[in-house]
Every structure is written in C-alpha cells, then in structure tokens.
Amino acid sequence: MPRRQPFPARLARRVASVRATMVNAMLLGLACCVLQPVAVAAESRRTAIVDAIASQRDAVVNIHGQKLISSEGDEPKRVNGMGTGAVIDSRGYVVTNYHVVEGVERIEVTLASGATTSATLISHDLRTDLAIIKISPPHQLQVVRIGTSSDLMIGETVLALGNAYGYEHTVTRGIISALHRSVEVSRTQRYDDLIQTDASINPGNSGGPLLNIDGEMIGVNVAVRAGAQGIGFAIPVDKVLEVVSELLSVERLDHTWHGIVARRDLQGGAVVTTVHRASPAEQVGVRAGDRIVRIGNAMVASQLDIERALLGRKAGERVNVEVVRAEGHEQIELPLAELRSDAVSPDERCWRELGLRVEAMAAMRVRQLQNRYRGGLEVVEVRAGGPADEQGIQAGDILVGLHVWETIRPENVTYVLDRAQQERFGPLKFYVLRGRETLFGHLTWDTIRR
C-alpha cells in the first residue's frame, strides 16, 4: 500500500490559517453571546433614580468643621461637625443649614471631585435655619437644578443626597410621607411647614438637597426625629428660594439697589410684583406685571436669578434687562444704585423683619395704661406666619421695648435691628402692653429683609 505523502508546506500553512480563522470566528461568536446581555442589562439598570443622582451629584458639597460645645458645669468640648450643601451659584455660593456652620472655627468643604477647600459664612437667617457659605473654586461649579414644592404629592419618590455620618455623597430613597409638618427640636428652634419623608436622613445630611425623581431640588434636609426610624424633614424649596433670594441679595452683599420684587412663574420668567418707589427700576420704567426673562446673559425664572445676575456689579453699572409685556419683548437698561440708608423705611423694615406694622402712639395715652412707660408703638397689623405672629403679638398691642431699648418711634426699632445684626444677637426679647398688663417673649427675628 503506497505511503501517504506529506502536505506541501504552503498547503499546510493555508489549512492552519483556515483553522485559526474558524476558531477566532467561534470565539467571537461566543463573546457576542456573553457580552450582549451584559450591555443590555447595564442599560436597563440606568433608571430614573440613577439619572437623577448622576445629574446632581456635582452640585452637592460635603461640609466639615469643629466647634466648641459648652454644657452646664463642664469645660467646653471641641467636637467635629458635619453637614451638606447645595451649590446655588457657579461662583461658589452654597446653601446649607445655619446650625451646620454656626460657631464653626474653620469650615471645610469637599467637592464631588474630592477636592477640599475652605469656606466663609456669608449670611444666615436664624428663623428658618438657612445660611449661605462661599468657597473659591478653581473653576465654575455645577448649580443644583431647582424644582418647586407647590405641587408635591404624598407618596411620590424622593432622594436624599448628603454627608450622612461623614460618608460623603450618600444617597437614600424614600417617599413623601406628609406635608406641612411643624417640628420643635429645641426651646429656641422650631420649624414650620416642613416636608416629611421616610428617606433616611442622618446626622450629616443637614443642608443637603431632597430631590424628586427628575433630579430637581424640592427641599433642603433639615432634621430627623430623634429615636425614630423613617421620619425625616426638609424645608420646602419654595420657602428656601424666598429666603435665599434675600440672603444672596445685592442689597445685603454688595450694598447696591435695584428695587425689583418678583415672584417665580412656572410658565417662565419672573413676574414683577412690586417696584420700590424712587428706585433705579422705577426710574427706567420697570412696572408691576412685567415678566423678566433675561438679565445680561443670564436667563431669569425667579427673584434668586435676578439677584445672581446682578451680584458683583458696581453701583452705576447699567445692565440690559429683557421684559415681556402685552406689546411684546422690550429691552430696558437698568442702572444699579448705591444703597441709601433711607432706601428702606423704618416702617418697611419693621414689616419685613418682625412682621409688624406699627404707628407711634401719644405718650399720654401709653402712660394712662401704664405710667412707667414714656411711650410706645401701637401694632396695627401682624403678618401671618411672621416672627411676631408666631409669638402671639396681636393688633392693638403696644410695643414698648425691644432687647434693652424702649420703642417710642419706628426709628427705635431699626436701631435695635441694626445692633442685633452687627452684634449677632440671639432671639430679641420684646415687651408689649396689652390693656394694662405687660407681656414679654422672644422674637426669633428675621435677619433678612422680607
């Protein structure tokens, strides 16, 4: 039987090449079979919650600091504090809870990137426990997306993002359990009209955003019920916007003045509700009912946007403002003015900061009721939900003293408010005459102008 001849070398190489191609094709086919389901699974896991957190993570910062805590009879102790903040302006302005940064010697802020920097307390409001801190980032920061708390639904999904127990950027999920809750956490701190949620809110979450499923901030986490599980609270974002607009106002930070008061309109733009008399806005023809849609290069949807667009500009600088009226779009050049000491009247400050309208009362009438007083201010109106209303002050009462000063003229009230702001008083002790009886209490006064 003849012996089989060996393949020529060229043919052997060709067969080996074909075999290798077949093996590679089989391996590629197997790889496709293995990898394809993994890719599909990864896409299916990208839920609305994942997208919401991913979109807002860079707008959240973690806050650390040390403060001295005093207890009766013991030496002050140095303790570590922690909290969270949400970026509300790309230049480094952050909103948080005041109790997070109150008394902190050095505020340390960690960005989502891991970079750490120091911050400065810019302004705060004791009554609502909100504060603005400022960092100097190396680049512009992402700003948190702001939603509304006007249409919240019990049962809808919410997400809490924060520095829980120092574990940075911790995410928890829950639902809105209730609305309009009132919570008293101490003798001096009470919160009203809060959102209740069962999303886990722990020490360190304070000041961080409560998000809806679309990744919009609908509240600022503020408190947890001690000893309870699944009961946390947040300040509604509409209230936060109102307060932060004042804390970040150009009047407060730059001592400039524009004179525009506007409300947010969910249809777009900010609708002017009031134009202050003799203000720069009044002088150039801004009027109530105007819808402001742009200032300079910044789109406007709220009073906060107006303040942010004008913040950092100098008195005398003119800024282009686009308004919508019945006639169509109009362009107005708004000049900023230096804030005059008389730009806000004593009566207006009393209303904004204490929630009172008062009128000077004849000294003789006051002495007929109580002869130890030289005069007083009759309360003619009390703003619902304001500091005075919360303390039970009523129309008809006579305000005879604030802190250690008597109140005979409205200017006396502004003097006390100025001193309180400069020296950072706590709650202001007040004295009112009701009939012939003197009553007193403590006003957790608004450090912001309303």
Which tens digits make up the pLDDT trace of 366-412?
A: 988 888 888 999 998 888 878 898 899 999 999 999 988 899 988 88
Q: Which is the CATH superfamily of the domain at 346-443?
A: PDZ domain (2.30.42.10)
Determine the pLDDT at residue 390.
Answer: 87
Determine the pLDDT at residue 314.
Answer: 94
DSSP secondary structure of 102-141: TT-SSEEEE-TTS-EEEEEEEEEETTTTEEEEEE--SSPP
Measure the CA angle with vertex 187, ends 125 and 63; round to 5°: 45
The contacts of residue 291 (CB under 8 Å, 6+ apart) are 265, 268, 269, 270, 271, 272, 323, 324, 325
Neighbours of 54 (CB within 10 A): 11
The contacts of residue 120 (CB under 8 Å, 6+ apart) are 107, 133, 134, 135
Determine the pLDDT at residue 241.
Answer: 95
Spatial distance between the Cα atoms of 129 and 108, rounded to a whole number of angstroms: 19
Nearest to 134 by CA among 145, 123, 121: 121
The contacts of residue 426 (CB under 8 Å, 6+ apart) are 126, 188
Could you tell me the two tokens for 427?
A: 């709650």
Catalytic amino acids? 99, 129, 206
What is the block-wise mean pLDDT of the chain (450 residues), using blocks of 10 residues? 50 50 52 52 85 96 85 72 95 95 91 94 87 94 96 97 91 96 77 92 92 98 78 95 92 91 88 89 94 96 96 95 92 91 72 87 88 89 85 93 90 85 76 91 63
Give the whole-number percent of the chain exceeding pLDDT 90.
Answer: 53
Could you tell me the two tokens for 51?
A: 């997208």
Determine the pLDDT at residue 138.
Answer: 87
Domains 253-338 and 346-443 share a fold: yes
Amino acid, single-letter form, for residue 93: Y
Angle at which helix 410-423 crosses helix 346-354, to 10 degrees, equals: 60
Tally DSSP H helices, then E strands, for the chain: 11, 26
Determine the pLDDT at residue 153.
Answer: 98
Neighbours of 189 (CB within 10 A): 16
User: 27-38: buried (b, 16+ CB within 10 Å) or exposed (e) per residue?
Assistant: eeeeeeeeeeee
Q: Which of the 8 DSSP states describes residue 36?
A: H
What number does CATH give the domain 47-248?
Answer: 2.40.10.120
Determine the pLDDT at residue 26.
Answer: 54
For the chain, the structural domain boundaries read 47-248, 253-338, 346-443
Determine the pLDDT at residue 144.
Answer: 98
Q: In a 3-state reduction of DSSP, which class is residue 192?
A: strand
Which of 2.30.42.10, 3.40.50.300, 3.30.360.10, 1.10.10.10 would CATH assign to domain 253-338?
2.30.42.10
184 exposed, middle or buried (CB, 10 Å; 0-12, 13-18, 19+)? exposed
Determine the pLDDT at residue 7.
Answer: 44
pTM of the predicted model, to two decimals? 0.72
Determine the pLDDT at residue 401.
Answer: 92
